[in-house]
Structure 1
Amino acid sequence: MYTDNNLTIRPIKKEDLPRLWELFYKEEKPEWKKWDAPYFPHHTKSYETFLSEQEKWIASENYWVIEVAKNIRGTVSYYWEHQPSCWIEIGIVLNEAESWGKGIGTRALKLWINHLFNQLPLVRIGLTTWSGNERMIRVAEKLGMQMEARIRKVRYYNGVYYDSIRMGMLREEWEQQHYSET
């Protein structure tokens, strides 16, 4: 568990499942999906189906909840792009619009990156988004990530082609930035 004032990131517990289902799978067309890879389909799930997959969520190393004032607002995550070379990509979802534009994502990802660099033998952390998600790009830049690749016009959404954006940060860049703040 990591905390920054009233914001906490922590592993998922069984009692979090009703709230996570509500945030991720209850609605057919949730607002957050317009920003989180909207070119991939979103499907609702019944609560029973979601519970049958609970081992993916509970105490997972790569999915944690974001709490603000003890209310779950979303998740931070990572996946292995290539585990033998310790290459991971991170992500964040803040499911409710009232959580957007308040610095919550920046604070949560800062805690998550710090946790990952402290717990895993990583040289680099990456983040992939699309050019339509300007808020995500700004968050990555605020955290010191650099644009590493722009794959032009590969994401098609609502009749428009967007770029895939790959950003990243090296451990030494994080440590230099992080330790200079204290």
Structure 2
Amino acid sequence: MELKEVTIRPVVEEEILRLWELSAKETSPEWKKWDAPYIPYEPKTLEQFLEKKDQYINQEDFWGICVDELLVGSLCYYWEHEASLWLEMGIIIYEPAFWNGGIGTAAIRMWITHLFNDLPLVRIGYTTWSGNDRMIKVGEKLGMTMEARLRKCFFYNGLYYDSIRMGILREEWEERV
């Protein structure tokens, strides 16, 4: 796949149907095999999804990832402890056709830059699991440090997996950009 223009931005009202189709419509979406598959997933009807659409549209903590203006994924952040400015982020590229082409790396790079520019953060991190090698490699490519490896935290398909915490400090990020 030829990588074209990757952008990140708040999700707009006109994209809510596409977001539902990508993130909540399918019974067993392929992306869920990589995004915390040990946490149960329940598809939602369009009506159920629309009840919470305000969580997705024009939010500071939930943005879309677009390739040539087509919504293909999402980014989010949440506070582990807001008083300490401890923020964690997440990413999902929903369609496998957009995996392994650098889209996720580009999107996270833009998201980290955006978060450091807009919030008085000292550190940004994310948590993944040892079964998601691609997510660990993205963090390493972006200069993140594996800050913690909590062993055998997640039981999935008959095996235990580790919880992996990746993070980067503002000064480390500023040295890279």
Residues 98-132 of structure 1 show CA distances to partners (whole Å, capped at 9, x for unaligned) of: 11100000000000000000000000001100000
Structure 1: any 5+ residue segments left out of the alignment? none
| Cα distance in 2 for residues equivalent to 1:176 and 1:14 | 37
Matched, 1:152 2:156: no
Q: Secondary structure at the match of 2:35?
A: coil
Q: Secondary structure at the match of 1:155?
A: strand
Q: So what's the TM-score if we normalise by structure 2? A: 0.97
Q: Compared with structure 1, are the counterparts of its residues 87 and 129 closer, same or farther at alpha carbon in structure 2 (3 Å cutoff)?
A: same
Q: Secondary structure at the match of 1:102?
A: coil
Map 1:65-104 → 2, pairs under 5 A: 65-104=64-103
> 1:59 maps to which residue?
58
Residues 56-115 of structure 1 show CA distances to partners (whole Å, capped at 9, x for unaligned) of: 111111110000011111101111010000001111000011111000000000000000
Q: So what's the TM-score if we normalise by structure 1? A: 0.94
Q: Could you say what the CA RMSD is over the residues aligned between the two structures, in angstroms?
A: 1.0
Contact 2:18 2:71 in 1 (8 A): yes
> 1:121 maps to which residue?
120
> 1:44 maps to which residue?
43
| Cα distance in 1 for residues equivalent to 2:4 and 2:156 | 37
Structure 2: any 5+ residue segments left out of the alignment? none
Q: Which runs of 4+ in 1 moved over 2 A?
A: none
Query: Among the aligned pairs, what percent are the same residue?
Result: 58
